[in-house]
Amino acid sequence: MLNKMSQELASFILDNLTLILLLVAIVIFSWLTIKARNVRSFQFQISIFLVVWIIGEVIGFLAGKNIIQLGISNDLSLEVHLSAMTFFCLMLWLRFYTSKRSGKKMIEDLEDSLR
């Protein structure tokens, strides 16, 4: 009886390992987002990107296991990924634009970083 229960538990964990790891990752990056507190910091922005990306992965996993029904849009996880990538591109472009506009020099090679 105990052996069968442990096998069922192991089977459940292995079947849902991806979901478990995604949920652990979303907790970690949500905590990092809260810890950063400054919307303009790179840590905050990249953590938001990763949280949105992971939400897309969770939706895709749950839809793949037929746990949730997406209704009209079966590509909701792809739409969430697209929004995450759009945010990421805008974030990098705005950071580059503001650094160029303010006259800050971007470090492009090792010699520049050592000065």
Instruction: For the chain, give the number of residues.
Output: 115
Task: Provide, rounded to the nearest whole percent, the portion of the chain with pLDDT above 90.
Answer: 40
Give me the residue spans of the domains in the chain.
41-100
Q: For residue range 67-109, what is the model confidence (pLDDT) as tens digits? A: 887 765 568 888 999 999 999 999 999 988 888 888 776 665 5
* pLDDT band with cut points at 50, 70 and 90 for residue 10: confident
Q: For residue range 21-34, what is the model confidence (pLDDT) as tens digits? A: 999 999 999 999 99
Burial of 109 (0-12, 13-18, 19+ CB in 10 A): exposed
